[in-house]
Amino acid sequence: MYHEAIIPTMNFPFKIFIFNTKSSDRLIPPHWHASVELLFCLSGKLEVQFPNKRFSLSEQDVLFINSNIIHSSRSPLPGKCLAIQIPLDFLADATESQYGNRFLYKLTPQNATPELKVILMRIKKQLSKENLWDRLTTKASVYELIAELTKNFCVPLAGIKEIESAKHLPKLKKSE
């Protein structure tokens, strides 16, 4: 397992790229990064493994990986994926310091909305162009993406902490 340092794409405050998976034996070993990551499968298949769960992404599937979560991936079929890795400080600014303090995002292939996919397809199209207008439009679309995530895919952090605390109640009762 290793820590991946995320370096933003030139002219952007985040890293954004399309990666091609040409080989079925391509494996990204377990790693983590402070940046959040959104994966949008454009074609083929991508499997993303977490310590206790695995997601298999096919065309048009979306997955959000919260900050500092260990994950790995492999490509059982060749394809393409759009990846957007947003630094924690950028996301904190965009969400008025609420991401990570008041909520996290929960976005899986099962709950992605058509509106979210429209935004991602727009970002994909803009990404292939290299003029200032398209870069500005891409930046605006990423803010729109964050707004959509915040509107429809928030999980209150209090609830997550309460669940974690509840797991330890039996141990606490035994020690009384």
Query: Whats the size of the chain, residue-wise?
Result: 176
Does pLDDT of 162 surpass 60?
no
pLDDT score of 53 = 95
Domains of the chain: 2-175 (2.60.120.10)
pLDDT score of 160 = 63
Give the global pTM: 0.87
pLDDT score of 23 = 77
pLDDT score of 43 = 96
pLDDT score of 158 = 79
What percentage of residues in the chain have a pLDDT greater than 90? 75
Confidence of residue 166 (pLDDT cuts 50, 70, 90): very low
Does pLDDT of 151 surpass 50?
yes
pLDDT, greater one: 40 or 77 = 40
